[in-house]
Amino acid sequence: MTTPLPPTPYSLLPTPYSLPTNFQFSQGSLQDYVDCPRRFQLRYLQRLAWPAVEVEPALENERHLQQGTAFHRLAHQHTLGIAPERLSSAVTDADLRRWWHNYLEHGPEDLPESRYPEVVLSAPVGGYRLIAKYDLIAVGPSAMLRAGPSAILRAGPSAMPRAGAGKRAVIVDWKTSRKRPRRRWLAERLQTRVYPYLLVRAGGHLNDGQILEAEQVEMVYWFANFPEEPAHFVYDTAQYEADEAYLTSLVGQVANLSNSFYPLTTQKRHCKYCRYRSLCQRGVRAGALDEIEDELELDEGFDISLDFEQIAEIEY
């Protein structure tokens, strides 16, 4: 009788999957690749639906994600012009009611008046398309234009705006995370780099057909649990050029790995919050929900704030 061979570890199995030529990158998929190339492979190339939860208790986390989605829907409908009284009557969950109250009382201030909710923008990067869905983009006159013609004349000829210029574009992203992340962590997220970059590349139709300059763009994270502590990130040409080089390089890395092995993250402690942990032989039990807040403070900034980026890409 022939002795059966032991099962081959998953990491040693051949991987025939390659990056499709029509693959569309997003901030979420790029973040997955940066955090763990193997997770990118399993999730986006193999589309493997592995039967495991990401965090325990799973039902509590699922409820939080559902309420986060509901809040995004409320903000969307309010931006479209539905009266807040009408929307408030449908809010029954305590957390959602508190978030909604915070939004109405302490929402983002001084936003430009032309507002575009749920906008999708895309542009070619490194031979592939990069796509992003924005919660809200607000475009309008800068402070100088709002001050009126006399202020422009006092500032001199150099302040005279050309068509489409003299405006500012503010990206607003709603966050329902339990803890307010540190600014450093936010600055390192792919979302903070992809969203302003794509708005400059592909947002001209929101600016009277004129390409937006990087200096006209700002990104704001507004936290439903911390309504008076938004995070603001101004943009400029130097950052735009750095983002373009970085994103092009990152897409190239993924494309060049398409016929090779995608390595596992070296940060094994993060695997407890990944649904593929047992497949990769990195444990069986899911991480505890009440420990996520501590993990979020790690310098590595692994994507374990489970609602931080998932909701941004949900289609209503």
Query: What is the structure's pLDDT at 307?
Result: 42
What is the distance between the alpha carbons of residues 30 and 299, in angstroms, rounded to a whole number?
19
Q: What topology is assigned to 23-258+279-313 in CATH?
A: Lambda Exonuclease; Chain A (3.90.320)
Give pLDDT tens digits for 37-77: 999 999 999 888 876 556 556 667 678 888 999 999 999 99
Burial of 4 (0-12, 13-18, 19+ CB in 10 A): exposed
Q: Which of 57, 56, 37 is nearest to 45 (CA)?
A: 37
Cα dist. 117→73, 136, 206, 242 in Å? 10, 4, 12, 27
Q: Which has more pLDDT, 277 or 289?
A: 277
What is the distance between the alpha carbons of residues 235 and 181, in angstroms, rounded to a whole number?
20
pTM for this predicted structure: 0.82
Q: Output b/e per residue, 107-141; b: 16+ Cβ within 10 A.
A: bbeebbeebebbbebbbebbebebbbbbbbbbbbe
Give the start-to-end residue ranges of the domains of the chain: 23-258+279-313
Q: Read off the tokens for 29.
A: 């998929």
What is the distance between the alpha carbons of residues 95 and 71, in angstroms, rounded to a whole number?
10
Q: Give the pLDDT mean for 124-133.
A: 97
Q: Which of 214, 196, 19 is nearest to 121 (CA)?
A: 196
Query: What is the structure's pLDDT at 277?
Result: 84
